[in-house]
Structure 1
């Protein structure tokens, strides 16, 4: 049965005829079951974003110091901004973030275009930064941020 959100969210998990296809993750996009090119699992994706977040924290601390503007709240926003820029720019240009590179992942468009592009990368990163859209996932393991931007995270090794 198709979920109510499938009717308006791009990159819907509904297969032909409105129901899920029922195969392995990423099958509806022509991805293999395992190995390079397969849809990435939640653990690797979580590890990649953790690496990116820690890298953003390190960069923010180096440039802003451990106590920017005198409050912890400002450091949090500085870290988020550095993470956002690091993630959006590297995803738009290369299709990967430093954390994804370390864990053998990359972002791919489901229409097989080579580049993710700036608008998709900005929207994807903004939704990822809100956390909840990334936790609500479909049968292919894609969060709302991937569905809204018609992307999928795949393994490179």
Structure 2
């Protein structure tokens, strides 16, 4: 009698505990395992978005626009969305992404279209799509825009 994993191991321990190998993040997309062009980890992405949020709310909204971000927090979100659409749409990355060595790429390679960037930014501002990931570490906002965040 062969020793089979118990059925509870498939949902308690995840698919890897059941002996299913899903490969590395980005393998299904044809991306390398490590180095330039590989899928970015969550730490880099969270660090980048934190830096971008600080820049947009305090440096730009409060500093340059003289807006009271405490009284009207939507101003920071609007500046954040504008920064993402402008910078990701033109150079493929924001200030925070550059600092953490990542960029947004279209699935076919290169920079995503301005429409894909706008859709991705809109969903990113809603926050919930960015909090749901697949096994390639792509949020729902990346899946909808057909993009992936990769290392530089």
Please, which runs of 5 or more residues in structure 1 have no aligned partner?
A: 1-19
> Which structure 2 residues correspond to residues 21-36 of structure 1 after superposition, within 5 A?
22-36=22-36
The number of aligned residues is: 132
Q: 2:133 aligns with which of 100, 114, 137?
A: 137
Partner of 2:104: 107
Please, which runs of 5 or more residues in structure 2 have no aligned partner?
A: 1-19
Q: Decide which structure has the larger Cα Rg and report it.
A: 2
SS in 2 for 1:153: strand
- Cα distance in 2, alignment partners of residues 152 and 66 from structure 1: 33
Deviations 1:114-143 (A, max 9, x none): 221211111101101111100100000000
> Which structure 2 residues correspond to residues 8-47 of structure 1 after superposition, within 5 A?
22-47=22-47
Partner of 1:94: 91
Partner of 1:52: 52
TM-score (norm 1): 0.79
Cα offset for 1:64?
3.4
Native 8 Å contact 1:21 1:28 kept in 2: no
- Cα distance in 1, alignment partners of residues 137 and 71 from structure 2: 33
Partner of 1:149: 145
Q: Closer, same or farther in 2 for the Cα pair 1:129/1:27, shift >3 Å?
A: same
Partner of 1:13: none
SS in 2 for 1:29: coil
> CA-atom RMSD, angstroms?
1.6
Q: 2:112 aligns with which of 116, 139, 148?
A: 116
Q: Closer, same or farther in 2 for the Cα pair 1:125/1:21, shift >3 Å?
A: farther
Bigger relative contact order (CA 8 A; separation at least 6): 1
Q: Closer, same or farther in 2 for the Cα pair 1:61/1:138, shift >3 Å?
A: same
Tell me which moved more, 26-35 or 143-152. Answer: 26-35
